[in-house]
Amino acid sequence: MIRVEHLSKYFGGIHAVENVSLEIAEGSITGLIGPNGAGKTTLFNVIAGAYKPTSGKVFLDGEDITGLEPHELFHKGLLRTFQIAHEFSSLTVRENLMMVPPNQHGEYLLDAWIRPALVRQQEAEIRERADDVIRFLEIERVADELAGNLSGGQKKLLELGRTMMVDAKIVFLDEVGAGVNRTLLGTIADAIRRLNVERGYTFCMIEHDMDFISDLCDPVIVMAEGHLLAQGKAADIMQNEDVIEAYLGTGLKNKPGVSSAAPDAKPARKPARKPSTAKATGKPSRKKAAARKGASK
Ligand SMILES: Nc1ncnc2c1ncn2[C@@H]1O[C@H](COP(=O)(O)OP(=O)(O)O)[C@@H](O)[C@H]1O
Ligand SMILES: [Mg+2]
Protein backbone atom coordinates (compact mmCIF):
# COMPACT_ATOMS: atom_id res chain seq x y z
CA MET A 1 0.00 0.00 0.00
CA ILE A 2 2.84 2.33 0.91
CA ARG A 3 6.19 1.98 -0.78
CA VAL A 4 9.10 4.10 0.29
CA GLU A 5 12.10 4.14 -2.03
CA HIS A 6 15.56 5.34 -1.05
CA LEU A 7 14.16 8.06 1.14
CA SER A 8 16.51 10.51 2.81
CA LYS A 9 15.82 13.58 4.91
CA TYR A 10 18.65 15.77 6.08
CA PHE A 11 18.45 18.70 8.44
CA GLY A 12 21.67 20.52 7.67
CA GLY A 13 24.35 18.02 8.61
CA ILE A 14 21.98 15.71 10.45
CA HIS A 15 21.02 12.69 8.41
CA ALA A 16 17.72 12.06 10.16
CA VAL A 17 16.62 9.50 7.55
CA GLU A 18 19.19 7.95 5.27
CA ASN A 19 18.29 5.92 2.21
CA VAL A 20 15.33 4.08 3.71
CA SER A 21 13.31 1.73 1.52
CA LEU A 22 10.36 -0.14 2.93
CA GLU A 23 6.83 -1.30 2.26
CA ILE A 24 3.72 -1.21 4.38
CA ALA A 25 1.33 -3.94 3.36
CA GLU A 26 -2.36 -3.20 3.01
CA GLY A 27 -4.27 -4.49 6.01
CA SER A 28 -1.20 -4.70 8.23
CA ILE A 29 -0.50 -3.10 11.56
CA THR A 30 3.14 -2.31 10.99
CA GLY A 31 5.25 -1.31 13.97
CA LEU A 32 8.16 1.10 13.74
CA ILE A 33 10.62 0.99 16.60
CA GLY A 34 14.12 2.21 17.32
CA PRO A 35 16.12 4.20 19.84
CA ASN A 36 15.41 7.89 20.24
CA GLY A 37 16.76 9.93 17.40
CA ALA A 38 16.54 6.97 15.02
CA GLY A 39 14.55 9.02 12.54
CA LYS A 40 11.14 7.43 13.07
CA THR A 41 9.15 10.63 13.47
CA THR A 42 11.01 12.25 10.59
CA LEU A 43 10.15 9.29 8.37
CA PHE A 44 6.48 9.68 9.35
CA ASN A 45 6.62 13.40 8.70
CA VAL A 46 8.03 12.88 5.24
CA ILE A 47 5.51 10.18 4.33
CA ALA A 48 2.61 12.23 5.69
CA GLY A 49 3.68 15.37 3.84
CA ALA A 50 4.86 17.55 6.70
CA TYR A 51 8.42 17.59 5.31
CA LYS A 52 9.70 17.31 1.76
CA PRO A 53 12.31 14.57 1.47
CA THR A 54 15.87 15.45 0.58
CA SER A 55 15.69 12.59 -1.90
CA GLY A 56 13.70 9.46 -2.55
CA LYS A 57 10.09 8.67 -3.28
CA VAL A 58 6.89 7.65 -1.55
CA PHE A 59 4.10 5.74 -3.29
CA LEU A 60 0.53 5.14 -2.13
CA ASP A 61 -1.11 2.28 -4.00
CA GLY A 62 1.39 2.78 -6.79
CA GLU A 63 0.77 6.52 -7.09
CA ASP A 64 3.73 8.81 -6.51
CA ILE A 65 2.74 10.97 -3.53
CA THR A 66 6.19 12.37 -2.79
CA GLY A 67 6.01 15.92 -1.54
CA LEU A 68 2.22 16.22 -1.52
CA GLU A 69 0.74 18.45 1.14
CA PRO A 70 -0.85 16.89 4.23
CA HIS A 71 -4.35 17.98 3.15
CA GLU A 72 -3.88 16.36 -0.26
CA LEU A 73 -2.81 13.14 1.44
CA PHE A 74 -5.75 13.47 3.81
CA HIS A 75 -8.07 13.37 0.80
CA LYS A 76 -6.35 10.23 -0.39
CA GLY A 77 -7.01 8.59 2.96
CA LEU A 78 -3.51 8.90 4.38
CA LEU A 79 -3.68 10.37 7.87
CA ARG A 80 -1.39 10.89 10.77
CA THR A 81 -2.65 11.68 14.20
CA PHE A 82 -1.77 14.89 15.90
CA GLN A 83 -1.99 15.87 19.49
CA ILE A 84 -5.21 17.73 20.10
CA ALA A 85 -4.13 21.29 19.42
CA HIS A 86 -4.37 23.82 22.16
CA GLU A 87 -7.15 25.78 20.54
CA PHE A 88 -9.35 22.70 20.43
CA SER A 89 -9.09 22.00 24.14
CA SER A 90 -12.04 24.31 24.77
CA LEU A 91 -14.26 22.31 22.45
CA THR A 92 -16.03 19.17 23.58
CA VAL A 93 -15.04 15.71 22.46
CA ARG A 94 -18.00 15.57 20.07
CA GLU A 95 -17.19 19.00 18.66
CA ASN A 96 -13.57 17.96 18.12
CA LEU A 97 -14.78 15.02 16.08
CA MET A 98 -17.29 17.07 14.12
CA MET A 99 -14.60 19.50 13.06
CA VAL A 100 -12.63 16.91 11.13
CA PRO A 101 -14.52 16.34 7.87
CA PRO A 102 -13.29 18.92 5.37
CA ASN A 103 -15.53 21.00 3.11
CA GLN A 104 -18.49 21.19 5.40
CA HIS A 105 -21.09 23.34 3.76
CA GLY A 106 -21.77 25.15 7.01
CA GLU A 107 -18.32 26.64 6.75
CA TYR A 108 -19.42 28.70 3.83
CA LEU A 109 -21.59 31.57 4.80
CA LEU A 110 -23.21 31.73 1.39
CA ASP A 111 -24.20 28.09 1.54
CA ALA A 112 -25.60 28.49 5.00
CA TRP A 113 -27.70 31.34 3.69
CA ILE A 114 -29.01 29.94 0.44
CA ARG A 115 -29.01 26.24 1.24
CA PRO A 116 -29.80 26.00 4.94
CA ALA A 117 -31.51 22.64 4.56
CA LEU A 118 -28.45 21.11 2.96
CA VAL A 119 -26.25 22.50 5.69
CA ARG A 120 -28.55 21.16 8.37
CA GLN A 121 -28.67 17.75 6.77
CA GLN A 122 -24.92 17.59 6.43
CA GLU A 123 -24.40 18.64 9.98
CA ALA A 124 -26.81 15.96 11.14
CA GLU A 125 -24.84 13.36 9.21
CA ILE A 126 -21.58 14.50 10.69
CA ARG A 127 -23.06 14.46 14.16
CA GLU A 128 -24.28 10.94 13.58
CA ARG A 129 -20.84 9.90 12.46
CA ALA A 130 -19.29 11.51 15.54
CA ASP A 131 -21.72 9.64 17.75
CA ASP A 132 -20.83 6.44 15.97
CA VAL A 133 -17.13 7.09 16.66
CA ILE A 134 -17.91 7.87 20.29
CA ARG A 135 -19.75 4.58 20.65
CA PHE A 136 -17.04 2.66 18.85
CA LEU A 137 -14.38 4.01 21.20
CA GLU A 138 -16.68 3.65 24.20
CA ILE A 139 -16.14 7.23 25.31
CA GLU A 140 -19.81 8.12 25.72
CA ARG A 141 -19.12 9.26 29.26
CA VAL A 142 -16.87 12.09 28.09
CA ALA A 143 -18.63 12.96 24.83
CA ASP A 144 -19.67 16.38 26.12
CA GLU A 145 -16.55 16.97 28.17
CA LEU A 146 -14.09 19.63 27.03
CA ALA A 147 -11.12 18.01 25.31
CA GLY A 148 -8.83 19.97 27.59
CA ASN A 149 -10.21 18.11 30.60
CA LEU A 150 -9.47 14.63 29.26
CA SER A 151 -6.78 12.39 30.67
CA GLY A 152 -3.74 11.72 28.51
CA GLY A 153 -5.09 8.37 27.43
CA GLN A 154 -8.53 9.72 26.62
CA LYS A 155 -6.91 12.38 24.47
CA LYS A 156 -5.12 9.64 22.56
CA LEU A 157 -8.43 7.90 21.97
CA LEU A 158 -9.86 11.16 20.70
CA GLU A 159 -6.90 11.54 18.33
CA LEU A 160 -7.63 8.08 17.02
CA GLY A 161 -11.32 8.95 16.83
CA ARG A 162 -10.56 11.94 14.62
CA THR A 163 -9.13 9.60 11.97
CA MET A 164 -12.48 7.79 11.96
CA MET A 165 -14.40 10.88 10.88
CA VAL A 166 -13.10 10.47 7.34
CA ASP A 167 -12.59 7.34 5.31
CA ALA A 168 -9.01 6.69 6.22
CA LYS A 169 -7.07 4.00 4.41
CA ILE A 170 -3.83 4.20 6.30
CA VAL A 171 -3.20 5.87 9.62
CA PHE A 172 0.17 6.78 11.07
CA LEU A 173 0.34 6.82 14.85
CA ASP A 174 3.32 8.38 16.58
CA GLU A 175 3.62 7.08 20.13
CA VAL A 176 -0.06 6.82 20.71
CA GLY A 177 0.68 4.84 23.88
CA ALA A 178 3.14 7.29 25.40
CA GLY A 179 2.22 8.23 28.94
CA VAL A 180 -1.00 6.22 28.82
CA ASN A 181 -1.92 3.93 31.69
CA ARG A 182 -2.23 0.17 31.18
CA THR A 183 -6.02 0.07 31.12
CA LEU A 184 -6.39 2.78 28.55
CA LEU A 185 -3.51 1.30 26.58
CA GLY A 186 -5.59 -1.86 26.34
CA THR A 187 -8.57 0.17 25.15
CA ILE A 188 -6.44 1.89 22.52
CA ALA A 189 -5.00 -1.45 21.38
CA ASP A 190 -8.54 -2.85 21.07
CA ALA A 191 -9.69 0.16 19.08
CA ILE A 192 -6.73 -0.18 16.71
CA ARG A 193 -7.32 -3.89 16.24
CA ARG A 194 -11.03 -3.39 15.61
CA LEU A 195 -10.42 -0.55 13.16
CA ASN A 196 -8.01 -2.86 11.39
CA VAL A 197 -10.29 -5.89 11.30
CA GLU A 198 -13.73 -4.33 11.06
CA ARG A 199 -13.00 -1.24 9.00
CA GLY A 200 -9.98 -2.30 7.01
CA TYR A 201 -7.62 0.39 8.27
CA THR A 202 -3.94 -0.16 7.69
CA PHE A 203 -1.77 1.17 10.51
CA CYS A 204 1.83 2.13 10.85
CA MET A 205 2.74 2.96 14.41
CA ILE A 206 5.77 4.19 16.27
CA GLU A 207 5.86 2.78 19.78
CA HIS A 208 8.27 2.14 22.60
CA ASP A 209 6.19 -0.26 24.61
CA MET A 210 7.34 -3.69 23.46
CA ASP A 211 4.32 -5.50 24.90
CA PHE A 212 2.05 -3.21 22.97
CA ILE A 213 4.12 -3.70 19.79
CA SER A 214 4.41 -7.48 20.13
CA ASP A 215 0.73 -7.73 20.78
CA LEU A 216 -0.45 -5.64 17.86
CA CYS A 217 2.17 -5.36 15.17
CA ASP A 218 3.25 -7.60 12.36
CA PRO A 219 5.68 -6.85 10.92
CA VAL A 220 7.92 -4.71 13.07
CA ILE A 221 10.44 -2.46 11.36
CA VAL A 222 13.48 -1.31 13.28
CA MET A 223 15.34 1.92 12.58
CA ALA A 224 18.56 3.19 14.09
CA GLU A 225 20.67 6.16 13.14
CA GLY A 226 18.43 7.04 10.23
CA HIS A 227 18.79 3.60 8.68
CA LEU A 228 16.58 0.59 8.42
CA LEU A 229 18.05 -2.07 10.69
CA ALA A 230 15.71 -5.02 10.60
CA GLN A 231 12.20 -6.10 9.76
CA GLY A 232 10.19 -9.12 10.80
CA LYS A 233 7.92 -10.59 13.41
CA ALA A 234 8.23 -8.99 16.84
CA ALA A 235 9.55 -12.17 18.46
CA ASP A 236 12.31 -12.54 15.87
CA ILE A 237 13.19 -8.86 15.98
CA MET A 238 13.80 -9.12 19.71
CA GLN A 239 16.40 -11.82 19.13
CA ASN A 240 18.12 -9.96 16.31
CA GLU A 241 21.74 -9.14 17.19
CA ASP A 242 21.75 -5.83 15.34
CA VAL A 243 18.61 -4.75 17.12
CA ILE A 244 19.92 -5.67 20.54
CA GLU A 245 23.12 -3.83 19.69
CA ALA A 246 21.19 -0.73 18.64
CA TYR A 247 19.37 -0.72 21.93
CA LEU A 248 22.54 -1.28 23.97
CA GLY A 249 22.26 0.75 27.08
CA THR A 250 18.62 1.42 26.55
CA GLY A 251 17.16 -1.61 28.22
CA LEU A 252 16.59 -4.28 25.62
CA LYS A 253 19.84 -6.05 26.32
CA ASN A 254 19.82 -8.91 28.79
CA LYS A 255 16.13 -9.26 28.30
CA PRO A 256 15.68 -12.26 26.10
CA GLY A 257 12.14 -12.30 24.84
CA VAL A 258 11.78 -8.78 26.15
CA SER A 259 8.96 -9.07 28.56
CA SER A 260 7.90 -5.54 29.05
CA ALA A 261 7.93 -1.90 28.26
CA ALA A 262 11.64 -1.52 27.40
CA PRO A 263 11.60 0.96 30.26
CA ASP A 264 14.73 2.80 29.35
CA ALA A 265 13.70 3.42 25.83
CA LYS A 266 11.26 5.83 27.41
CA PRO A 267 12.91 9.21 27.18
CA ALA A 268 10.48 9.46 24.34
CA ARG A 269 9.03 12.33 26.28
CA LYS A 270 12.03 14.51 25.79
CA PRO A 271 11.74 17.03 22.97
CA ALA A 272 12.19 15.16 19.71
CA ARG A 273 14.04 18.03 18.09
CA LYS A 274 17.29 17.58 19.97
CA PRO A 275 19.82 15.32 18.35
CA SER A 276 20.00 12.20 20.44
CA THR A 277 23.27 11.25 22.01
CA ALA A 278 25.40 8.51 20.53
CA LYS A 279 23.80 6.13 22.99
CA ALA A 280 21.80 4.48 20.23
CA THR A 281 24.63 2.47 18.77
CA GLY A 282 28.29 2.15 19.41
CA LYS A 283 29.05 3.38 15.93
CA PRO A 284 27.51 6.70 15.07
CA SER A 285 28.20 7.86 11.56
CA ARG A 286 30.85 10.51 11.24
CA LYS A 287 28.52 13.22 10.03
CA LYS A 288 26.10 12.57 12.80
CA ALA A 289 28.83 12.44 15.37
CA ALA A 290 29.99 15.82 14.18
CA ALA A 291 26.48 17.20 14.25
CA ARG A 292 26.08 15.90 17.72
CA LYS A 293 29.16 17.47 19.20
CA GLY A 294 28.04 20.05 21.61
CA ALA A 295 24.56 18.65 21.64
CA SER A 296 25.48 15.55 23.63
CA LYS A 297 25.07 15.61 27.33
N1 LIG B 1 12.93 19.71 12.39
C2 LIG B 1 14.17 19.23 12.67
N3 LIG B 1 15.25 20.01 12.54
C4 LIG B 1 16.48 19.55 12.80
N5 LIG B 1 16.74 18.28 13.19
C6 LIG B 1 15.71 17.46 13.36
C7 LIG B 1 14.36 17.88 13.09
N8 LIG B 1 13.53 16.83 13.35
C9 LIG B 1 14.32 15.81 13.72
N10 LIG B 1 15.64 16.19 13.74
C11 LIG B 1 16.78 15.33 14.06
O12 LIG B 1 16.69 14.16 13.27
C13 LIG B 1 17.06 13.01 14.02
C14 LIG B 1 15.92 12.03 14.06
O15 LIG B 1 14.87 12.56 14.87
P16 LIG B 1 13.44 11.91 14.99
O17 LIG B 1 12.95 11.63 13.62
O18 LIG B 1 12.62 12.77 15.87
O19 LIG B 1 13.79 10.53 15.72
P20 LIG B 1 12.83 9.54 16.52
O21 LIG B 1 11.42 9.90 16.25
O22 LIG B 1 13.23 8.20 16.05
O23 LIG B 1 13.19 9.72 17.97
C24 LIG B 1 17.47 13.51 15.39
O25 LIG B 1 18.86 13.67 15.40
C26 LIG B 1 16.75 14.83 15.48
O27 LIG B 1 17.41 15.70 16.33
MG1 LIG C 1 9.84 10.41 17.54
For residue range 8-37, what is the model confidence (pLDDT) as tens digits? 999 999 999 999 999 999 999 999 999 999
Does ligand 1 lie within 6 Å of residue 275's CB atom? yes
Residue 92 belongs to some domain of the structure:
yes
Residue 173 belongs to some domain of the structure:
yes
Mean pLDDT of the chain: 82
98 and 220 co-located in one domain? no
Final residue of a domain: which of 165, 182, 210?
Answer: 165
98 and 206 co-located in one domain? no
Question: What is the number of other CB atoms lying within 10 angstroms of the CB of residue 138?
Answer: 11
The rounded percent of the chain whose pLDDT value lies above 90 is 55
115 and 225 co-located in one domain? no
Q: Are strands 170-174 and 78-80 parallel, antiparallel or unpaired?
A: parallel
Q: What is the sign of the dihedral through the CA atoms of 108, 109, 110 and 111?
A: positive
**The domain containing residue 12 runs over which residues?**
2-77+167-292
- Average pLDDT rounded to a whole number, residues 204-226: 93
pLDDT of 58 reads 98
Final residue of a domain: which of 165, 200, 232?
Answer: 165
Residue 96 belongs to some domain of the structure:
yes
Final residue of a domain: which of 165, 197, 225?
Answer: 165
Counting every residue written for the chain, the total comes to 297
pLDDT of 209 reads 87
Residue 266 belongs to some domain of the structure:
yes
Residue 132 above 90 pLDDT?
yes
Neighbours of ion ligand 2 (CB under 5 A): 41, 272
178 and 64 co-located in one domain? yes
Does ligand 1 lie within 6 Å of residue 182's CB atom? no
For residue range 216-259, what is the model confidence (pLDDT) as tens digits? 999 999 999 999 999 999 999 988 888 888 876 554 444 444 44
pLDDT of 113 reads 67
For residue range 76-89, what is the model confidence (pLDDT) as tens digits? 999 988 766 666 88
> Who has greater pLDDT, 260 or 59?
59
50 and 111 co-located in one domain? no
113 and 171 co-located in one domain? no
Number of domains in the chain: 2
Does ligand 1 lie within 6 Å of residue 153's CB atom? no
Q: What band does 282 get if pLDDT is binned at 50, 70 and 90?
A: very low
Residue 97 belongs to some domain of the structure:
yes
Does ligand 1 lie within 6 Å of residue 276's CB atom? yes
Residue 297 belongs to some domain of the structure:
no
CATH code where residue 190 lies:
3.40.50.300
pLDDT of 284 reads 42
Residue 192 belongs to some domain of the structure:
yes
The rounded percent of the chain whose pLDDT value lies above 70 is 77
- Average pLDDT rounded to a whole number, residues 262-276: 41
Residue 262 above 60 pLDDT?
no
- Average pLDDT rounded to a whole number, residues 156-175: 91
Q: Are strands 29-33 and 14-24 parallel, antiparallel or unpaired?
A: unpaired
Q: Which of 32, 33, 36, 42 to mutate to test the pocket of ligand 1 (most atoms within 8 A of CB)?
A: 42
Closest ligand to residue 287's CA: 1
274 CA: nearest ligand 1 atom: 27
144 and 248 co-located in one domain? no
Which of 104-118, 176-190, 218-232 tops mean pLDDT?
A: 218-232
Residue 291 above 50 pLDDT?
no
- Average pLDDT rounded to a whole number, residues 29-54: 95
66 and 93 co-located in one domain? no
- Average pLDDT rounded to a whole number, residues 113-128: 82
pLDDT of 170 reads 96
107 and 201 co-located in one domain? no
63 and 184 co-located in one domain? yes
pLDDT of 110 reads 63
61 and 204 co-located in one domain? yes
Centre of ligand 1 from the C-alpha of residue 266, in Å: 16
185 and 42 co-located in one domain? yes
- Average pLDDT rounded to a whole number, residues 46-63: 96
Does ligand 1 lie within 6 Å of residue 112's CB atom? no
Q: Which residues pair with 204 in a beta bridge?
A: 30, 172
* Residue nearest atom 25 in ligand 1 by C-alpha distance: 275
Residue 225 belongs to some domain of the structure:
yes
